[in-house]
Structure 1
Amino acid sequence: MTDMTRSTYAGLRPLAVRALGQTGADIERLVREARQSARRQRRLLTWQDLDIALQGRHKRMPDDVLWRVCLHEAGHAIAWSLLGVGEVLSVTVGVENLGQVLTRRRNDMAQTETWLRQTMACLLAGRVSERMVLGDVVAGAGGDDTSDLAQATDYALAAETRLGFSRINPLLYRNPSGSLDLLSLDRELAARVNERLISAETLASELLTSHCNDLLEIASRLQERGVMEGREIRQVLGLAEPGMPEP
């Protein structure tokens, strides 16, 4: 790799991470606007121009909301990284008052009951980190069928009704269509599902409590910059890169 190629790569990489979620048309329009601005100032377009343009497309959150979102996403990132059920690719905050942890799920792990609990813990880790540091939580972990709470509940319900992990009638398979309604009709089933959620939440709490300083460090960097790559998360946690020996 030549020095020029290495320099270009170093300049593009953080911009590419910050641009996650943008469409091709969004990026084309952003570059055109940044180039026009540079021309008006009678100078060439720079990486900084693009970085400023990318940041400018997002409304700034109030500081207290931003800090909460940073803690929430840092909790998710730590859990995914340390439990090993997924590889964190990037973490972004400040997009439409939301944050996002982009992960690559591992397909080489046996999907046992332990794996299920760990995956649920990753989904609940954002909520856990809010309560651990701030003393309360907001409704951001719930709200719709794609939310953290909905996904974790669906995993717990699947364990009891479809995956054969239940202590009661483990061989009985229930069709997933309309299965969430079962929680309203079957109190005993709802109690067992809730037990699994509490167990996963406890795992996330123990994990984040033992890595509280890392949680605050990652959240602080997110608050300052708005984006972190997975490799930087792993550096903070002292983890090796995927495919490399542990340090």
Structure 2
Amino acid sequence: MRIFIVGVFCLFSLLGWAQDDSGLETIKAVVKNAQTGTPMESVHVVNLNQVVGTITNDNGEFAISAAVNDTLYFSYLGFKSQKVRVTNDMFKFENTEISLTELAYALEEVIVRPYQLTGYLEIDVKNLPINNAYQYSISGLSVGYEGGNKNPSAVTKVLGAILNPADLLRNLFGKRPNQMRKLRQMKEDDQIRDLLASKFDRETLMELLQLDKMDIQDILNNCNYSQSFITTANDLQILDAISSCYEEFKVLNRKK
């Protein structure tokens, strides 16, 4: 009986060791300003592999789930974003410090002549460029399509999506299944959504989806979003647009 108990204890110990070795653990560290050495509050920290995020507290401290070799992505307005590879030492020691470098911004000259602004509101409003992008709703399809007078291929894109939407979307997403599977996880994490809502540079999306900026633009172009939307939307709106297009692809792909 004693041997049996010892054997069961050893078995559970081995199982526990295997789980610790392969499962996620919690990393605790602090983010500081590289120039001043002061802790930085409200820095966004995203685990690009696990697609989870958090923010630093008043003392610059954060805790996040991770595994060895995961990549942590640090982002804060006015500072250079940074990626850090997770190591065993980061789990053993809780005094790991991450330093972010402040960006130097130079104000560019503001030119108002192209819009012929006069300083009089009633006159200037008439001289402002008009957004000619329109949203088309097509009976039988749950997704609308944008087009406009400044986009000569808008009608072609709409008709192409109607005539053969499955082939169009399969070309977009068929070669990117791993990246696209992260879309749902990204939308479910509040910290990641908050981060994306504050950014317009596509940098975080590029890191999370492992796509370059041109890939993201090609996806949006082929999903019939206007240049006006592509250039002015924040990263969260871009994520929702790609996600909407991808959900349509999955539905059409299942029906085939």
Bucket of the pairwise TM-score, normalised by the shorter protein: under 0.3
Alignment TM-score, normalising by the size of structure 1: 0.26
Higher RCO by CA contacts (8 Å cutoff, separation 6 or greater): 1
Larger radius of gyration: 2
The structure with the largest helix share of the pair is 1
The structure with the largest strand share of the pair is 2
